[in-house]
A and B are shown apart, each in its own frame.
Chain A
Amino acid sequence: MLFLHELKKTIFSISYILFVIIAVLAIFSQGALNFSGDKISKPVIGEDYGTKNEDLPETVMPAALQSLYAEFVENNYTCYPIGSIKNVKLNDDEQMRIAEIIADITGMNTDEIYHIQGSSYDISLEGVSGDINLQSDGNGVFFILGNENENEKTIQEERIDFSVREDMSYTEFKELMQEVDDILGGGSNYAAESLIGFGTVPRTYEEADAAYELVKSSDKITGGYARLFSDYAVAIVFSFFPVFLAIIISTKDRYAKMSELIYTRKAAGIKIVLMRYLAILTAVMLTAVILSYISSATVWSMYTGMELDYFVPLAYDFGWIMPSAMTAVAVGMFLTELTNTPVAIAVQGIWWFIDMNMGMESVSASYSLLRLAPRHNAGTDAYFRTQDFIDNFSNLLANRLLFAGLSVILVIGTAIVFEAKRKGKFNGNEKIKRAFANIRNCQNQSQA
């Protein structure tokens, strides 16, 4: 009864209607509410199958070296420590160490490399002015050239061939690159697990066909779309906006001056808190389920005659989206009960913001344990990257269980705070407020 009462209170509130409008608008704006026309079809021999990244030493090593060298010369390294771009400049000692690493990789002289960087470059290349220019001969060897005013003779004289030493093993290369990443403070493309980004190779017909078959067999097609829907939905709506709903519903009693009345009721604190929590969560998930089915239904007609899984959106709603929504609601309820203020907006807001800006640089980062909103942003052109999902399923499971567990702890915490308030042992931030008020009173008295 209590649950139904709370549910009714939630669903018929203006804030919930606003939440639904927000969810529709936000998901629609990302194109995840209507997938019609975005059909995945069996690859045909001879067409372009897109690219993929592969950990191939012969592709990765020259590309990574070239990139590192270009950044070294400019002393301007691009990193993504928390997803967002960060330009790193190194001091002389650190640049020297990078030069040593490049020398180690190429087998060249450290001093020679060190003096090519920045302004020294102009001095060492007499008669050549302008920016540096890296050119590749297509065989993993590249060389530097002056950009302007150079004549053929100078180019020939100053041409420095760069290539990875022949006896350099990939393990050793990775270790050196990891050291570069450490010097840069992490988050660079040179981190051992990010190096794969340099190994861009075209996808073959066989691979494209295998990926397509996997979508058909493992995802039953609708699974791929449901995953893309969940990716957007959880990142932009369900890991943040439910916090508003939780705060508004939690403060309603106080605004209506009913808190004290409720405290005197027989119902146990845990029951009141839990029923309220479940009611908000049910309302939030109702939106998720309805929207996911609207989204999924738009693709059904494109695949008539094929085996589709009509229950898969439900699995994604509860498996992928719900733990994030649970967390947002729990944070909202707990902090509101604890502080009597809407501080949860700031807390959840900053958390969500940082999480969203962590981006999707690598698959492992997208599925990392502490990701509030796991990401898997792959559409039909990437064949939904089903294999990545299968490979990372255990990580996803661990992540989602962690967030669900955290929410349960927060709900129990809310009930404990609620009970303490009821017994008059604790009254939110009233103590702090009173302390401030006392200070002001003292000041007023002394002025008088």
Chain B
Amino acid sequence: MVTPIIFGIANLNQTESAIPLEMFVSLLGIVLFTPIFQPEQKSEIADVVFPKCVSMNVIYLIRAIYTFFFLIAFIALFGVFMRLQKSDVTFLMLIGTVANAVFLGSLGMLAAVLTDNTIVAYMIPMVYYMLNYGAGRKLGNFYLFSMRTHNYQPKIWLLTTGMILIFLSLLIERLKKKMK
């Protein structure tokens, strides 16, 4: 949301447009996906909610899906806004941004389900994001800021892995509950 304040998003070419999208908008994924399991991490709420007839897994899945659609809607809107400001943003770049956000968010979700602590869970994707500043290209197909050099291949990896990690976290959550 603060992106337009700290980074001009008007009159940018494709390379320049990639910067706010990859560096700022991607972070939305962390904010949206990480707290998916949070309400039930409080034991009182879990005790009330878990015995209900609708399986929690279905609820988590629904939350993940609508979070995903909200993410797409927000990024699309942001893209439209940038275009209105005469920046050269392509459809592919928006998909790339979604891929980044989903991957970062999935790291948060996985950390949340493994640690049962949403705050710790926020740390993990933040660290990964920060590593991209330093280690950068050494991350290969998982490098978050590749669109700047018009390289879209990592986005396929990020999106696919992100999706897999989201399902994996849902699966682990289910297994955890069965074991209880």
Interface residues of A (CB under 8 A from B): 14-15, 18-19, 22, 25-26, 29-31, 76, 79, 81-89, 236, 240-241, 244, 247-248, 251, 342, 345, 349-350, 353-354, 357
Contacts and interface: CB of A to CB of B under 8 A. Distances in A.
B123 A79 contact: no
A241 B123 CA distance: 8
12 contacts: A26-B127, A26-B134, A29-B131, A29-B135, A31-B134, A85-B7, A86-B10, A241-B123, A244-B122, A342-B119, A349-B126, A350-B2
A82 B6 contact: yes
A89 B119 CA distance: 42
Interface in B5-22: 6-8, 10-12, 16, 19-20
Q: Which 7 A-B pairs have the closest CB atoms?
A: A86-B8, A29-B134, A29-B135, A87-B11, A30-B134, A84-B7, A22-B127
B130 to A, nearest CB: 6
A22 to B, nearest CB: 5
Given A25-B131, A350-B2, A345 B120 contact: no
A353 B2 CA distance: 11
A440 to B, nearest CB: 16
Interface string B106-132: 000000000101111011001100110
Nearest to B136: A29
B113 to A, nearest CB: 15
B133 to A, nearest CB: 7
Residue in A29, A30, A241 whose Cβ sees the most chain B Cβ within 10 Å: A29
Interface of B: 2, 6-8, 10-12, 16, 19-20, 115, 117-120, 122-123, 126-127, 130-131, 133-135
Contacts of A87: 8, 10-12, 16
Contacts, number: 78
B131 A345 contact: no
Q: Is the interface of A mostly helix, strand, loop or mixed?
A: helix
Contacts of B12: 87
Contacts of B119: 15, 244, 247-248, 251, 342, 345
A364 to B, nearest CB: 20
Nearest to B135: A29
A22 B134 CA distance: 13
A220 B141 CA distance: 43
B23 to A, nearest CB: 8
Contacts of B2: 350, 354
A132 B11 CA distance: 20
Given A26-B134, A89-B11, A357 B6 contact: yes
Contact of A18 (B7, B123, B131, B135): B123
A84 B120 contact: no
Given A236-B134, A244-B120, A25 B19 contact: no
Contacts of A84: 6-8, 19-20
Residue in B12, B20, B134 whose Cβ sees the most chain A Cβ within 10 Å: B134
A247 B130 CA distance: 20
Nearest to A354: B6
A228 B10 CA distance: 35
Given A14-B115, A25-B127, A30-B134, A79 B122 contact: no
A345 B119 CA distance: 8
A84 B6 CA distance: 7
Contacts of A86: 7-8, 10
A19 B127 CA distance: 10
A345 B6 contact: no
Contacts of B20: 84
A89 B123 CA distance: 39
Given A14-B120, A244-B123, A345-B119, A88 B8 contact: yes
Given A29-B135, A84-B20, 6 more contacts: A15-B117, A85-B16, A87-B11, A241-B123, A248-B120, A251-B119
